[in-house]
């Protein structure tokens, strides 16, 4: 799966939009994604860059990627799509700020360009996208062909303090070298709730799951048991992370998938899930296909689990999809009980080859620092509705975002103690996360399957579907 790191420090690292089968998207907006064999990351929900003419490189003459503080950056984001426009604008701002000292020129690149140049030992001095996690680990890290960024990060403690600690750990080798730029911003998934229906006694992150369940009363959660059961799987992830050792268990599955669900952590979480499905779920249709977003926006449910980028549907632009007195202004956003948020931060981002000259390295590092600045990070958050869990937002940002109250709630709900965990669907065999999980949920919901039986069914199907995983 192609990795797109175009937002660099202003985001987490990213995979191109998932390509596996998925459930039908909500009628209101087509932004559903499905499970990925690689960690999902920064711009996975955005459209790919527009097609454009790219340069191919024959293995003949040495390639000039710049000198004297000027470098050429090859990128898939040189078109007119939303990601490209942001990136090109950021490069322009960098060039203006460092006029006469540093300059970056963008040149369109296609899939496979970086791999080709690596084989020719002619890598450009700064690489920002167009590579996969697996390729980077095998061809660059294993061969020690990267420039160690740890001295740069240690010399910039303000930047390091903004970065997500799990992302720093992922990008750090066993001997302490930093292979690529860690993430500051992530695309978080948590809870939306209708404050006109559900009167939360305190912030959700300050409750545990039992307290949350007790506070619901007659309020219902928008669950589904069909297709990939996306929303229900989000909630299940939070239930697993809320178990003692649960967050560590989810994080332990790196470069592998879960095939055995017999761990008591999983079974205890499934037992909690069964209670929520039986006691706090909105009514499910016979086939379980009720659209959760529509149900939330017609007041059939007061709790909705999804990516916080869905907040756009509760702004005036989404009013045509509201019914039964629903008002988007009544929607609040918060982390899951237990101060848990879902988001995948395992991925590689901007990196510098060890073949780069010092003048090229100086320009590349200056651009990394610029992208990781408070101002540029906030510009990205404002443009794409993401969150920076370890970076306090400035008053200037809050003023600019006053017409996006949910965005401010999302960022204020996260803090240095927030537990960030990868999504369960990204740790499962694709066929299991895309359909089998949802198909098995109906048995858990109606009581025909116990939590232990549900776990065994998942284990059996996962093992059969992935003998070589």
pLDDT band at 416 (very low <50, low <70, confident <90, very high): confident
Q: Please tell me the predicted confidence (pLDDT) of residue 284.
A: 78
Closest by CA position to 80, among listed 70, 89, 72: 89
pLDDT at 22 over 60: no
Q: For residue range 318-370, list pLDDT tens digits in order.
A: 999 999 999 999 999 999 999 999 999 999 999 999 999 999 999 999 999 99
pLDDT at 12 over 70: no
pLDDT at 5 over 90: no
- Classify 185 as helix, strand or coil: coil
Kindly provide the residue ranges of all beta strands, DSSP E only, lying in 23-147, ordered along the sequence.
70-75, 103-108, 129-131
- CATH domain 3-185+345-391 topology: D-Maltodextrin-Binding Protein; domain 2 (3.40.190)
Numbered ranges of CATH 3.40.190.10 in the chain:
3-185+345-391, 189-342+420-465
* Mean pLDDT estimate for the chain: 87
Query: For strand 303-307 and strand 189-194, is the pairing parallel, antiparallel, or unpaired?
Result: antiparallel
Q: Distance (Å, rounded) from C-alpha 239 to C-alpha 433? A: 17
- Taking residues 12-40, what's their average pLDDT? 31
C-beta contacts of 390-399 below 8 A and 24+ residues apart: 390/161, 390/162, 390/163, 390/164, 390/165, 390/184, 390/416, 391/161, 391/162, 391/184
- Classify 305 as helix, strand or coil: strand
Q: Please tell me the predicted confidence (pLDDT) of residue 469.
A: 62
Q: Please tell me the predicted confidence (pLDDT) of residue 26.
A: 30
Q: For residue range 137-193, list pLDDT tens digits in order.
A: 999 999 999 999 999 999 999 999 999 999 999 999 999 999 999 999 999 999 999
CATH code 3.40.190.10 for 189-342+420-465: yes
pLDDT at 4 over 90: no
- Classify 103 as helix, strand or coil: strand
């Amino acid at each position: 799966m192609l990795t797109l790191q175009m937002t660099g420090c202003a985001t987490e690292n990213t995979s191109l939009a998932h390509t596996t089968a998925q459930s039908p998207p909500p009628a209101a907006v087509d932004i559903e994604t499905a499970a990925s064999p690689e960690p999902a990351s920064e711009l996975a929900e955005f459209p790919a860059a527009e097609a454009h003419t790219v340069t191919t490189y024959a293995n003949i003459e040495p390639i000039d990627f710049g000198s004297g503080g000027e470098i050429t950056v090859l990128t898939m984001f040189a078109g007119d799509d939303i990601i490209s426009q942001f990136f090109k604008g950021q490069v322009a701002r960098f060039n203006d700020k460092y006029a006469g000292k540093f300059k970056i020129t963008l040149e369109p690149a296609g899939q496979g360009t970086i791999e080709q140049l690596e084989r020719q030992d002619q890598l450009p001095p700064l690489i920002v996208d167009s590579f996969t996690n697996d390729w980077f680990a095998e061809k660059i890290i294993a061969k020690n062909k990267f420039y160690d960024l740890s001295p740069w990060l240690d010399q910039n403690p303000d930047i390091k303090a903004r970065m997500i600690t799990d992302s720093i750990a992922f990008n750090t080798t066993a001997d302490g070298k930093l292979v690529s730029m860690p993430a500051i911003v992530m695309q978080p998934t948590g809870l939306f709730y209708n404050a006109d229906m559900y009167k939360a006694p305190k912030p959700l992150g300050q409750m545990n799951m039992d307290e949350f369940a007790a506070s619901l009363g007659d309020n219902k959660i928008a669950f589904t048991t069909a297709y990939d059961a996306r929303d229900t799987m989000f909630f299940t992830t939070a239930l697993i992370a809320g178990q003692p050792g649960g967050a560590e268990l989810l994080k332990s599955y790196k470069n592998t998938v879960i095939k055995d669900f017999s761990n008591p952590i999983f079974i205890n979480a499934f037992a909690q899930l069964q209670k929520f499905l039986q006691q706090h779920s909105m009514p499910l249709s016979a086939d379980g296909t009720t659209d959760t977003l529509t149900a939330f926006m017609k007041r059939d449910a007061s709790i909705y689990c999804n990516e916080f980028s869905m907040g756009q549907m509760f702004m005036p632009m989404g009013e045509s999809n509201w019914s039964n007195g629903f008002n988007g202004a009544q929607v609040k956003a918060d982390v899951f009980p237990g101060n848990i948020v879902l988001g995948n931060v395992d991925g590689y981002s901007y990196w510098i080859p060890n073949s780069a000259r010092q003048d090229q390295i100086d320009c590349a590092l200056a651009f990394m620092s610029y992208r990781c600045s408070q101002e540029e990070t906030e510009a990205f958050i404002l443009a794409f509705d993401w969150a920076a869990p370890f970076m306090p937002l400035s008053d200037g940002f809050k003023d600019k975002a006053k017409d996006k109250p949910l965005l401010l709630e999302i960022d204020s709900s996260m803090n240095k103690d927030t537990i960030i965990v990868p999504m369960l669907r990204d740790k499962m065999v694709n066929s299991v996360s895309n359909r089998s999980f949802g198909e098995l949920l109906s048995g858990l919901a109606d009581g025909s399957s116990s939590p232990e039986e549900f776990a065994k069914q998942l284990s059996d199907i996962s093992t059969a579907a992935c003998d070589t995983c």
